[in-house]
């Protein structure tokens, strides 16, 4: 009977450790490029696409390359394994998730924050004619 308890406790311990590890990987913090370089961990960086720098899509490798400037003005080359996100040109801000490796940011996800279609709309009148 003690053998069952030991096996049960072992399974619970392994499940707990796996849960803690997975939760720590899921929590990705917003940071700057400088902090991302120092930590080496998976992070999120909010910034702007630097349009004047070269951006291109490599069809053979299915990779999109562009330059991102964070909110402090620091720039970094981004490599994203996937197609160019829709409406990148219209985006007010871009959020990239990934990690810095060498002089590049290897993005696993890109989120474009486009202006709201409701911005600048006149408020509805509350008066009844």
Span 50-95, pLDDT tens digits: 988 888 889 898 999 999 999 999 999 999 998 888 888 888 889 9
Residue 14 has pLDDT above 60, yes or no: yes
Q: Is 102 left (phi over 0), alpha (psi -120 to 50) or beta?
A: left
Taken in order of first residue, the domains within the chain and their CATH numbers are 29-113 (2.40.50.140)
* Dist CA 92 CA 73 (whole Å): 15
Mean pLDDT, residues 105-116 taken together: 86
- Of residues 14 and 25, the one with the higher pLDDT is 14
Q: With 0.85 as the threshold, say if the pTM is over it.
A: no
Q: Would you place residue 47 in the very low, low, confident or very high pLDDT band (cuts 50, 70, 90)?
A: very high
């Amino acid at each position: 009977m003690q053998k069952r308890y030991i096996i049960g406790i072992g399974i619970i311990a392994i499940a707990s450790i796996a849960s803690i590890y997975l939760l720590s990987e899921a929590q990705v913090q917003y940071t700057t490029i400088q902090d991302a370089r120092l930590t080496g961990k998976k992070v999120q960086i909010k910034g702007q696409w630097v349009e004047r720098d070269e951006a291109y899509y490599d069809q053979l490798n299915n990779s999109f390359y562009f330059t991102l400037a964070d909110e402090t003005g620091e720039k970094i080359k981004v490599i994203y394994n996937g197609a160019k996100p829709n409406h990148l040109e219209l985006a007010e801000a871009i959020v990239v998730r990934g990690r810095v490796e060498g002089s590049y940011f290897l993005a696993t996800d890109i989120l474009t924050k486009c202006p709201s279609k409701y911005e600048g709309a006149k408020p509805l009148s509350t008066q009844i004619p």
